[in-house]
Structure 1
Amino acid sequence: MLKISEGRTAEIFEQGPGKILKLYRSGFPPEAIRYEYEMNQAIASCGVPAPRAYDLIHFEQRDGIVFERIEGSTFLSRMVQHPDGLDRLSKEFADLHYQVHSYKLDEHKKSSIVKQKVILARNIHNARELSDDVKKKIIDVLERLPDGECLCHGDFHPDNVIVGERPWVIDWMTGMVGNPAGDVARTVLLFRFGTLPDEAPRAVKEALQFMSTKISRIYLERYLSCSGLPFSDIDEWMLPIAAARLSEWIPNREKELLFNLIEERLS
């Protein structure tokens, strides 16, 4: 099989005409892979611009999903290649996120999707860098935040959007039902502290680091304008979102930055 790309959790291969195979790395939880497959199935009939998921497979002792192949380039690569269009691309990125939050799921499909607060609480519990006392304080904050019933992506960043004939949102493993303010808080934190995979080209890493502050500002301004949300609604999600991210496969440097933010908010 011809490898097309790879990330921290999976490798992408060609899989016949119009299809790709997302093959997850050894040790990746099979229940998370099945959830991504089922999530794509759930949103397929709602008009969400996401690749169709065709099948779950087991190949060479690894699990994978066969997806519809989407031709195009990611928002991330477009931002790096066309810095003169950064304002427009950042606004389009915000518009797409707002669009995702506007899709309506019927009650049957909604019942099969995990709730935002359930996912965040579980991930906070799994953050080994935090003491039990700190976890309890953060979960208390989380429980006081307003619930929501909107479709949320859970990891909306420019490398998870492919632009071809139209924009496509990929990687729905973190999909959930919840409050859009929490989903936006996650995106803002990724712009502030997120790091690209080690295998990403150095030029792309350096360019994104230089541009991320500007992208984040324009994205946030545009989203607030579209949605009418006050920034305070988003800011109050930052603490639990940062704590939950500590449980993920991320570099130590990013964990240090998140831990510093958590200490600052708790103090």
Structure 2
Amino acid sequence: MMELLARGRDAQVYALDSHRVLRQFDAPRDLRREVAAMECARAAGLPVPAVHEVTVDGMVLDRVDGPTMFEALAADPSTARQHAATLAELHHRVGAVAAPAELFTDVGEGDALLHLDLHPGNVILGSVPTIIDWTNAARGPADADPAVCWLLLRVVAVDDLGVRPALVETFLEAFLESFDRDALAGQLAAIARLRLVDPNMSPVERDRIRRFVADPW
């Protein structure tokens, strides 16, 4: 039996050996967009696992050992500003990459590569901070990605992840220092439309999204 390394809302990650993992989804899906985004990101020098094989319901990837940024933050709250700066830098690097033509999105005009789920739970602190879970990858305005992070850290029940809400607030404020908040706020309505139809969002989270977008300040 394969060792379960991590479980998300719609996928599990299993160890195949010391170098590779299987990311297996709960249901078959078209993974071409995700693979295209990951290959584009890697070609641009971003820290992203290599894709070795794709199946109807999963993909074989490089194994990256280490805690997620969320786990590291929970283990040592004094690192909040350091990790926030690292995440902001990753956002800027992703937003500077031109997306493949086959990617699309409903979040607005733009040609930047978008992850659209780049929060501390999707960064593994291995030998270098590595971006995982490109399921929502798209093309659009670069400000959309940090806007997603802002929204998610406001509405997701982070205490379920072992991180105190007050600590997340400290992290988020430090993260937002690297961006124009007015520009990010301009992306929230489009981002919210996508998240409100996401089956992985709970009814409570959907209600929080509506309230946050109505008054993000």
**Same fold at TM > 0.5:** yes
Identity %: 23
- What amino acid is the match of 2:102? S
Structure 1 residue corresponding to 2:183, chosen from 225, 233, 238: 233
Report if aligned partners of 1:48, 1:103 keep a CA contact under 8 Å in 2.
no
- SS for the counterpart of 1:180 is coil
Deviations 1:182-220 (A, max 9, x none): 211111001110235xxxx95x43x24231211111100
| CA–CA separation in structure 2 for the residues paired with 1:101 and 1:261 | 24
Shift of 1:92: 1.7
**Other-structure match for 1:129:** none
Instruction: Give runs of aligned pairs for residues 113-192 of structure 1, distance below 5 A.
Output: 113-114=103-104, 116-117=105-106, 120=107, 147-192=109-154
Q: Name the SS of the counterpart of 2:47 in structure 1.
A: coil
- Write the letter of the residue equivalent to 2:33: Y
Partner of 2:36: 38
* Cα shift at 1:259: 2.5
| Cα deviations by residue, 1:34-85 (Å, 9 ceiling, x for unpaired) | 3222322333322121000111125xxxx11100101221111111111012
SS at match of 2:118: coil
Q: Which residue of 1 aligns with 2:8?
A: 7
Q: What's the TM-score, normalizing by structure 2? A: 0.89
Cα deviation for residue 158 of structure 1 reads 0.2
TM-score normalised according to structure 1 size: 0.73
CA distance in 2, matches of 1:176, 1:79: 28
Query: What amino acid does structure 2 have at the position aligned with 1:169?
Result: I
Measured after TM superposition, the shift of residue 104 of structure 1 is 4.5
How many equivalent pairs are there? 213
- Are the aligned partners of 1:101 and 1:152 in contact in 2 as well (CA < 8 Å)? yes
Instruction: Show the counterpart of 2:210.
Output: 259
Q: Which amino acid aligns with 1:34?
A: R
Deviations 1:156-182 (A, max 9, x none): 100111111111111111112211112
For residues 234 and 193 of structure 1, the distance between their equivalents in structure 2, rounded to whole angstroms, comes to: 16
Please give the alpha-carbon distance, in whole angstroms, between the structure 1 residues aligned to 2:41 and 2:86.
21
Ranked by relative contact order (alpha carbons within 8 Å, sequence separation 6 or more), the top structure is 1
